[in-house]
Structure 1
Amino acid sequence: FGEDDRAPHALRSLLEGGAEARPANARLYVTSNRRHIVPREMAEQDDPINPRDARDDRLALADRFGLSLGFHACDQAAYLAMVEAYAAHHGLAFDPADATGWATRRGGRSGRVAWQYVVELAGRAGRSLDD
């Protein structure tokens, strides 16, 4: 969002239901690929008298996101255990060296990378994971 952008205020109203009553049979799911939906640096504050007010206003949007999922790095043993569990659940065989190489080429080991590797395994085997 830009410095003078009003979109965060409009989005915050939508998330809170303040812009319009939400039907009982509707749910609103909002996601972001950004780790921090709004900048958190004090240097970006535009109110030199009370920078906390400006920061709190910007962070009010980020506070509407109740669930934050992280894809944290793990050690090799934990990564291979995740791959093994996913692969076993879907009836797929895997080579630990191949799984480790996959993680290295992707820049790290995490639950997300383990899942992506198993999706690749299924593709190689011509199998769908939707079963």
Structure 2
Amino acid sequence: MTVHLAYRWHQRKLQPIEFVQTVQLDDLLGIERQKEALIQNTRQFVERKPANHVLLTGSRGTGKSSIVKALLNAFAPQGLRLVELGVHDLIDLPDVVAPLRERDERFVLYVDDFSVASNDPALTALKTALDGGIEEPPENVLIYATSNRRHLMPEAKRDNGEYHWIDDELHPGESTEEKISLSERFGLWLSFQPFSQQQYLDVVRLHLNKLDHATWDEETEKMALRWALNRASRSGRVARQFARDWAGRHA
């Protein structure tokens, strides 16, 4: 396998990604606590020290995917590599990691937007990968997964009916316990909250500057807020989209 910075698992093969997104950690604002924890875990990993699988959950567009891509750019010189997996490709995990096991590089298996039904075969494959089956898991492979769902699986209305009281304490039912147990298999669990208005505006200004549009006035701020209101979301993704539109109009 030729050395590349990133690969994707496609048609049961590792295919190199020739043009990797160049996201920088300094460009990710409003998530300092999450960045610090994830940088530390990744640093331990590339230095061949114990490190954890990571689950990043929370609001859409708040930087969960971007921070994983930024880590690749930050730690690639130390041997970090990224392998992008679709959720349903998890059933191929033994085949994915087989050619990686004996390599010197450190591989993060990146699963974006993880959400499956409770009976999905990918769920069993992920549990095995996280907790280990009979085969010893490779020391140079970790899983970093992102999800908009806190427990990775849809929350059904019937789950609430399974809660019961034991000695004045409320305990979840079997379905909920199964969902919680899956997310708890990740050693590092980071939550991403919706942006405040000021955080959103800070990210807008960052993206405008990167697009060589340094002008910031009352009109720009008003239109940025209106853009977020129309999207019913204040997030890094929405901020970037507004910046591209506004900078393009005023180029």
Same topology, TM > 0.5 = yes
56-65 or 41-50: bigger deviation: 41-50
- Count of residues in correspondence between the two structures: 124
Which residue does the alignment assign to 1:82?
203
Do the aligned residues in 2 keep the contact of 1:73 with 1:109 (CA within 8 Å)?
A: yes
Q: Which has the higher contact order (CA 8 A, sep 6+)?
A: 2
Secondary structure class of the residue paired with 1:29: strand
| Residue in structure 1 matched with residue 139 of structure 2 by the alignment | 24
TM-score by length of 1: 0.61
Contact 1:9/1:61, CA 8 A, preserved across alignment: no
Confirm or deny that 1:15 pairs with 2:140: no
Within the candidate set 124, 132, 149, 1:34 is matched to: 149
Between structures 1 and 2, the one with greater strand share = 2
State the Cα RMSD in Å.
3.8
CA distance in 1 between partners of 2:208 and 2:182 (Å):
38
Quick one: distance in 2 between partners of 1:53 and 1:103?
40
Same amino acid, percent of matched pairs: 31
Separation in 2, partners of 1:96, 1:105 = 14
The answer (yes or no) to whether the contact 1:38–1:62 under 8 Å persists in 2 is: no
1:110 aligns with 2:204: no
CA-CA distance at 1:61 after TM superposition: 0.6
State the alpha-carbon separation in 2 of the partners of residues 103 and 41 from structure 1.
30
Q: Offset of 1:117 from its aligned partner?
A: 2.5
Structure 2's unaligned 5+ residue stretches are: 1-115, 165-170
Cα deviation digits, residues 40-66 of structure 1 (max 9, x gap):
568327979985455323311122343
Deviations 1:79-100 (A, max 9, x none): 2233113323553346223322
Q: Distance in 2 between matches of 1:47 and 1:3?
A: 16
| Separation of aligned partners in 2, 1:4 and 1:115 | 37
Alpha-carbon distance in structure 2 between the residues aligned to 1:121 and 1:102: 10
